[in-house]
Structure 1
Amino acid sequence: MLSLTEKEVDHIATQLLKGMVCFYQLDKKKIHQMPDDEDYFNYDLTQEEEDILDEIEEDPDNFAEFTKMEAPQEHQMMQDFIDRKVKERNLAEDLVNALSKPKAATGFKFLIEDSKYKNDWIEYRKGKYQDWVKEQVDSFNYSED
């Protein structure tokens, strides 16, 4: 059964927010991260990253993979933030409008960066990603049974 410390959950959440994918090596209780190949398809892996991928291929049951949220989950998280935290009606309307357009995340981020809610968003998003990591742990443990 996989269980992570709060520090490990925080580390994985931070890496996912940076666009990485994480693998938790069960026997060594070690976290490995590397760029998510969907985001970095031109990225050349280091020798260490190649070795980790080889190990994962040889013994996939020894690794738990942690991935970022899918676009619909990210979108819902942004919508929930607006509904729960943003009190100014004009900004809330602008943010909702940004979410309805192509490149929604970029538009949302642009508006949030210049608002008094920037730090609230950073904390909110990190907390949601920590919850997301814990959900993936639960899912991994459930599939083990």
Structure 2
Amino acid sequence: MFSLTEKEVGLISAQLLKGNVCFFQIDKKKIHHMPDDEDYFNYDLTEEEEDILDEIEENPDNFAEFTKMEPAQEHQMMQDFVDRKIKEKNLAEDLVNALSKPKASTGFKYLIEESKYSSEWKEYRLSKYHDWVKEQVDSFNYSED
């Protein structure tokens, strides 16, 4: 059964929040990360990244892949934060309004970073990403059975 330490969960979460995709090499207990190709399709891989991808292709069972949340999950996380944490009615309305528009996460991020809730949001988001990484570990273990 595959598991991660809290430190590994934290490292993977931080990379996902930066827009990277992570691969955990099970036999060496090593985390590899690189830009998510959906976001960086013009990105040229380094020689080391190409070697890792070749290794993953040759032995996929030795790697667990971790990806960022889907946009709908990110959106729900932002909505939940507003519902649970924002006490000021005007700010809550502005954030909900931002979430209802195109580029919702950009509008939300701008408003939240200018508010007193900025650090609380970062902690909340990181915590939710820790949970997300753990869900992916569970999913990986379930698919192995």
TM-score range, shorter chain: over 0.9
Work out the number of aligned pairs and report it. Answer: 145
Structure 2 runs not aligned, ≥5 long: none
Tell me how far 1:122 sits from its aligned partner. Answer: 0.2
> Offset at 1:142?
0.4
CA drift of 1:65 comes to 0.1
Alpha-carbon offset, residue 66 of structure 1: 0.1
**Matched residues in 2 for 1:15 and 1:67: separation?**
9
* Structure 2 Cα separation of the partners of residues 44 and 113 of structure 1: 32
Match of 2:109 in 1: 109
- Tell me, in whole angstroms, the C-alpha distance in 2 between the residues paired with 1:99 and 1:4: 33
- Superposed CA RMSD in Å reads 0.3
User: What are the superposed Cα offsets for residues 35-94 of structure 1, whole Å, 9 maximum, x if unpaired?
Assistant: 000111110000000000000000111100000000000000000000000000000000
Instruction: Give the 5 Å matches for 1:112-127.
Output: 112-127=112-127
Distance 2:2 2:29 in 1: 9
Q: Counterpart of 2:51 in structure 1: which amino acid?
A: D
Q: TM-score scaled by structure 2? A: 0.99
Q: Structure 2: how far apart are the matches of 1:31 and 1:114?
A: 34
Structure 1 unaligned residues grouped into runs of 5+: none
TM-superposed CA distance for 1:99, in Å, is 0.3
How far has the Cα of 1:101 moved from its partner?
A: 0.2
Q: Structure 1: how far apart are the matches of 2:42 and 2:35? A: 10
Aligned to 1:10: 10
- Aligned-residue identity in percent: 82
1:106, distance to aligned residue in structure 2 (A)? 0.1
Moved beyond 2 Å, runs of 4+: none
Partner of 1:128: 128
